[in-house]
Structure formats: C-alpha cells, structure tokens
Amino acid sequence: MAYLDNIRTFVRVYELGSMSAAARDQRISAAVASARIAQLEDHLSVRLFQRTTRMLSPTEAGQIFYRGACGILDRVAEAEAEISAVTQAPSGTLHVAAPLGLGRRLVAPLIPAFKAAYPRVSVRLRLSDRKLDPAAEGLDLVLFLGTPEDSSLRMRKIADCPRLLCAAPRYLAANGTPRSPDDLAGGDHVCLTLRYPGAPEGQWPLQEGGQVRQVPVSGPFESDDGDVLTQWALDGHGIILKPVFEVAHHLDSGALVPVLPDTPPVPIQLACLFSHHRQQDPKSRLFIDHVVAHIGAELARTAPRPAA
C-alpha cells in the first residue's frame, strides 16, 4: 500500500499546491508528505514538482502523471466499491462537509446512527459556511444550501427549505417593525448578512405580489459564520434571513419573531454534491439515503404552520 499512499499524497499536493496543506489534509506530517513525493520521483526518475522557497508547481512530467494517478485512484475506489457491494459491508472513511447551521443541527445528529448501522465506516464531518469544491478539498459529499455553480459535479436534491426574516422583540421595540421590503432597502433597519470570499453582494430575494424581488440590504454587522449572525439577532442587533429549521427553537421560545411574513424569502434548495465516481461508492450512497430519510422528517417538524 506504500506506493498507493505515495500516489494519494502526490494527488493532494498537486491539487492543493502545497506540501503542508496536503499533509494536513491527509493527517500526516509535512516531512512524511515530502518523503512520499521524493520516493515517487526516485521511482519514476523524474521531477514531479518545481520547488522554490515561495511556491511549488508541477513539472510537465507531474502534469502527465497527475492525469494517470487520478485514473488509478478512481479505479481503486471503484474496485473497493464493488467489493463492498458484494460483501454488503461498506468500509473506509467518508469525508462529508456541510454549512455550519445545517451541519450542527441536522447532519451531525444523524452520524451516530449511521455509524451504528455501518460500523466499518468512519465519518469525518467538516463544517464551513464558505463554498467548498469536493474534488479540491478531498471530500466525498458536500451538503449545501443554494444553487451549485459547478455543472461537472453530480447533484441530488434533498428538499426545498422554507426561510424567513426574523429579529428579537427588543430590536423591533427599539427600531420599529418593518412594514415592507422598502424599509429594508432604505437602510432604516440593520440587516445581518453572511459574507465570505466569493459571496454575492448583499441581496435578499423576497416574494412580493407573486414576483421575486431582490432587495439590497446592508448593515454594520457581517460574518462568515451563520451562527454568529443568529446570536447577534438574539442580542437585539438586527434582522436576519434564515432557514426555518435553524431558528425554529428560537421562534418557539419567542426569542425571535418573524418579520415581514407577507413577503417571505424564496425557499432555499438543500442538496448534496459529489463527483461522478463517488456515486458508485456504496458508503456514499448509503449516507445520502440516510440523510434524505431523516432530514425530511426534521424539515417537516420545523416547517412553518399555516396561520389559524
């Protein structure tokens, strides 16, 4: 397996462009990662990377070997998947990513039951509100809210999640209650916005008169962590736009109350992204099925109820 480990390390170094980043990704030391690349280069009698003190870039030989190495790893994964299907005992490590709120409230609680059902599978859950590339990040599955930009990936839709605007009663008592989207666009209210590198400009898509209106919003509070925004809202600092499942318990307790219920935000798609060859992996399919079955029930439980 040493040669295969060397290939896996080479692929991650190539994709991440950094020896130390690849080492962290594979949970090995930078020295071990460097030694694996050196062993490959000795075996192939070529230089795979050009190294300087400031950068690392693949040579022409490295680019050629990368294409072949990806094919090797794909075929190994397919062979392992076929064995798992035959033995009905999926095994290995599943790398899963999800946004913070979705991961903490819906995905993480499902993992122990999945692990109990498939004890030979280990799950590594990574939570981040920024957009992640499954191939570049070494991930098997990425659960996300929104619309994917990369059409080269496979997608499985799970559900449409209703969203709402909400704020703490004390914020509304101090600042008044918005009566139309114009009150948000006019800057009369503090809107708490999610921002991260590559995020779109602050606009909230609200349903008004049967149409979708992109309402520009702004405010002095921004974060790349959705839970930070929720806490700011609870502390009375502004209005947030959230999937209902993330704030259902705060709505039930009265800590947050709906804002502009007659012009609600457009529901957001909850889906799963994965590369084409990952679809053949039994543990990936089983995990997606597990998530679909249980998240659907939770979304139904937290769905907004019609007014009496």
The domain spanning residue 58 has which CATH number?
Answer: 1.10.10.10
Q: What pTM did the predictor assign?
A: 0.66
Q: Which of 21-25, 74-78, 116-120, 149-153 has the highest mean pLDDT?
A: 116-120
Q: Say whether both 97 and 71 belong to one domain.
A: no
Q: Of 75, 4, 77, which is closest to residue 39 (Cα–Cα)?
A: 4
Q: Say whether both 251 and 294 belong to one domain.
A: no
Q: Say whether both 150 and 168 belong to one domain.
A: no
Instruction: Please state, in angstroms and rounded to a whole number, the distance separating the CA atoms of residues 29 and 26.
Output: 9
Instruction: Determine how many CB atoms are found less than 10 A away from the CB of residue 251.
Output: 17
Q: Is residue 308 part of a domain?
A: no
Q: Say whether both 187 and 258 belong to one domain.
A: yes
Among 56, 85, 114, identify where a domain stops.
85
Q: Say whether both 73 and 195 belong to one domain.
A: no
Q: Say whether both 172 and 260 belong to one domain.
A: yes
The pLDDT tens digits for 180-229 are 999 998 778 999 998 765 555 578 999 988 899 999 998 888 888 888 99
Number of folded domains in the chain?
A: 3
DSSP, collapsed to helix, strand or coil, labels residue 174 as helix
Q: Is the pLDDT of residue 307 over 50?
A: no
Q: Of 160, 150, 159, which is closest to residue 275 (Cα–Cα)?
A: 150
Q: What element of type H or E holds 292?
A: helix 282-302
User: In terms of residue numbers, what domain contains 78?
Assistant: 2-85
CATH number of the domain that residue 188 is part of: 3.40.190.10
Instruction: Please state, in angstroms and rounded to a whole number, the distance separating the CA atoms of residues 223 and 139.
Output: 25
Q: Say whether both 180 and 275 belong to one domain.
A: no
Q: Say whether both 152 and 228 belong to one domain.
A: no
